[in-house]
């Protein structure tokens, strides 16, 4: 499920900002962007995120600002500076330029001037602030995802009602099918009466019973109804249910395909096509459910 969250925490030396963005994904995929000197805290961040999120691609962006008077020392990287001068000199010669090197040329190399903290960071103190900002960002992210989830729940429920209605129509049509097939067979026999002669009522009833058994979709409709009921229950349940909903949609599609293969009736086939369209929409939307 998509969402965005932001959290901040401020200490004597630094102010931390954590931004989280989540995108749809079948599983939990974490992409963390931490400064190199905080790589040791990446696993802790992952554990916090996994404790509260279960699905989606979640991107975490961490930034910090030094408080006034607590900043790092600015220094020059002599080796990189010498390399930059040599590269620019070589470029001038290759291009046949007489323009002298100026300071603004060198300042285009962002890594020549770097900030070095006066002391090595205390990871525990840093984590105390960072985790606070991370929890705030998670609260904000979950609030946005919760609001989106309510709208999604209503949309899924609407599609589910349409699906149940189509299944009900199939049940009605299926009950009429044996008589419809009987009339078709009698009409065809009347056309072929001169070729096949009279057909015994018992034989006709036997053939109709066999045909009705082959075309019977009562079991598939019963299982479909059960899956719809379970789907509704999961929509009202708390916690992560996305994967179970995916499984139910897969099982519903299996039953619908079987109904379509057995029905042999144009009206039922039209309802089956409608059901497949509804299930495809459900499948797409469930990717947004945690």
Structural domains present in the chain:
3-71+127-145 (3.30.230), 73-116 (no CATH), 152-286 (no CATH)
- For residues 263 and 177, the answer to whether their CB atoms sit within 8 Å is yes
- At 16 the pLDDT is 87
- At 50 the pLDDT is 92
The dihedral over CA atoms of 60, 66, 71, 72, expressed in degrees to the nearest 10, equals 0
- For residues 285 and 153, the answer to whether their CB atoms sit within 8 Å is no
pTM over 0.85? The answer is no
- At 136 the pLDDT is 94
Instruction: State residue 52 phi and psi, 5-degree precision.
Output: -120, -15
CB atoms within 10 A of CB 119: 7
Handedness of CA 268, 217, 172, 225 (dihedral sign): negative
- At 137 the pLDDT is 93
How confident is the prediction along the chain (290 residues), in pLDDT tens digits per residue?
678 999 999 887 778 899 999 887 778 899 998 888 888 999 999 999 999 888 888 999 988 776 655 555 566 778 778 888 888 888 888 888 888 888 777 777 656 666 554 444 678 888 989 999 999 999 999 888 888 778 888 888 888 899 999 999 988 887 766 666 666 666 665 655 555 555 556 655 666 555 655 667 888 889 999 999 999 888 887 677 888 888 999 999 999 998 888 877 788 889 999 999 999 988 888 877 76
């Amino acid at each position: 499920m998509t969402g965005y969250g932001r959290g901040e925490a401020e200490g004597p030396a630094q102010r931390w900002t954590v931004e989280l963005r989540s995108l749809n994904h079948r599983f939990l995929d974490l992409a963390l962007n931490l400064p190199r000197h905080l790589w040791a805290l990446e696993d802790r961040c992952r554990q916090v995120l996994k404790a509260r999120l279960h699905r989606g691609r979640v991107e975490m962006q961490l930034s910090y600002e030094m408080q006034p008077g607590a900043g790092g020392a600015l220094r020059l990287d002599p080796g990189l500076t010498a390399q930059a001068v040599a590269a620019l000199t070589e470029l001038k010669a290759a291009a046949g330029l007489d323009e002298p090197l100026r300071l603004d040329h060198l300042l285009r190399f962002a890594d020549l001037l770097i900030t070095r903290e006066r002391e090595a960071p205390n990871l525990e103190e840093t984590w105390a602030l960072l985790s606070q900002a991370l929890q705030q960002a998670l609260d904000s992210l979950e609030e946005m995802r919760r609001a989106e989830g309510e709208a999604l729940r209503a949309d899924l429920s609407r599609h589910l009602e349409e699906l149940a209605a189509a299944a009900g129509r199939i049940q009605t049509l299926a009950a009429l099918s044996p008589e419809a097939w009987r009339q078709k067979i009698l009409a065809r026999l009347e056309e072929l009466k001169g070729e096949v002669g009279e057909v015994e009522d018992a034989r006709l009833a036997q053939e109709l019973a066999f045909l009705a058994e082959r075309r019977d979709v009562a079991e598939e409709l019963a299982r479909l109804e059960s899956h719809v009921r379970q789907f509704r229950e999961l929509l009202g349940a708390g916690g992560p249910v996305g994967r179970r909903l995916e499984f139910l949609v897969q099982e519903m599609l299996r039953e619908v395909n079987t109904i379509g293969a057995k029905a042999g009736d144009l009206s039922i086939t039209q309802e089956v096509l409608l059901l497949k369209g509804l299930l495809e929409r459900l499948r797409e939307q469930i990717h947004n459910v945690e």
